[in-house]
Structure 1
């Protein structure tokens, strides 16, 4: 099973439908999509900065932003099936479909290590990959990705969030960070022919 995180910055990007089509066609039975919160999460940040309310409330609001973008992706490509829990993810994959995770279960009544902005949807996707014993995590970004950089360097550059490197250390699965224009690379990865693509 693979976890594929689609960055929130792609939620209004012309490349998004092609990514969804690829994951629906080649990801059936093995891909679970985690959505970034996009502009909805940005609005949570803006509102928190304005009113100075606590990170617990902001976390719960940002989780709902991820839920909303999940509904968006499903509306754009109904072949991708919604799953509101880890048990539902297993059911979707068992039916041979690709899943979109609606992370309602991440809402909290009290603060914990994840109820802050150091851990964004990048780290949430990484956590899910650990919990589901994923075979691979792929993080799709709208920006260019320097393949010579480590995950720590990508975090320092702001490409990944501050908590990601700590969670990635010792991961039992490969982690791939891709730019939005690398659709052919993702297709080759799903088809098992990435070695040929890399030459």
Structure 2
């Protein structure tokens, strides 16, 4: 099973539909899509700064923002199947379709290690990948990224540069699967990965 996070920064990008079509056409039976937060999460940051909301409230608002983006993705590609937990996601993938995570299980009543802005949908994608025993994780982003798949020691640098979140390196260091960063224009690379699993 592959976990592929679509960054919320693609929400107004004309290429978004192409990404979803590629994933739906080539990823049936193995892909789970994680929605990013994008402008929905940016709105939460603004509200927290304006009203001094605590981190649990902001976290829950940001999770619901990811949910809004998930609904948008399904609206653009109705064949994607929403699933709220690992059981539902696995059922969809085993049926030969592409699953789309609705991360409502991440809502919290009390603070924990995930309820702060060091954690974004980047880290939540790895959290889910660990729960699903994923074989590969791909993060799709709009910002410029390194040309090669990062080595484990490179993640802290990428976090410092804002390419991944600050909690990501700790999770990535324990990952038992390859993690790829793809820029929004790298549809050909996605196709290569999906069509040839020997590609690293």
Q: State the TM-score, normalized to the length of structure 1.
A: 0.95
1:107-152 CA distance string (max 9 Å, x none): 0010000000000000000110111100000000001211355222
Corresponding residue number in structure 1 for 2:162: 158
Corresponding residue number in structure 1 for 2:144: 144
Alpha-carbon distance between aligned partners in 2 of 1:131 and 1:82, rounded to the nearest angstrom = 17
Alpha-carbon distance between aligned partners in 1 of 2:48 and 2:197, rounded to the nearest angstrom = 45
Corresponding residue number in structure 2 for 1:115: 115
Q: 2:4 is paired with a residue of what secondary structure?
A: strand
Task: State the superposition RMSD in angstroms.
Answer: 1.3
Q: 1:32 is paired with a residue of what secondary structure?
A: strand
Runs of 4+ in 1 over 3 A off after TM superposition: none
**Match among 184, 187, 194 for residue 180 of structure 1:** 184
Alpha-carbon distance between aligned partners in 2 of 1:27 and 1:65, rounded to the nearest angstrom = 25
> Structure 1: which 5+ runs fail to align?
none
Alpha carbons of structure 1 residues 71 and 175: separation in structure 2 relative to 1, 3 Å: same
Where do 1:55-134 residues align within 5 Å?
55-134=55-134
Alpha-carbon distance between aligned partners in 2 of 1:105 and 1:193, rounded to the nearest angstrom = 31
Alpha carbons 1:188, 1:194 under 8 Å: kept: no
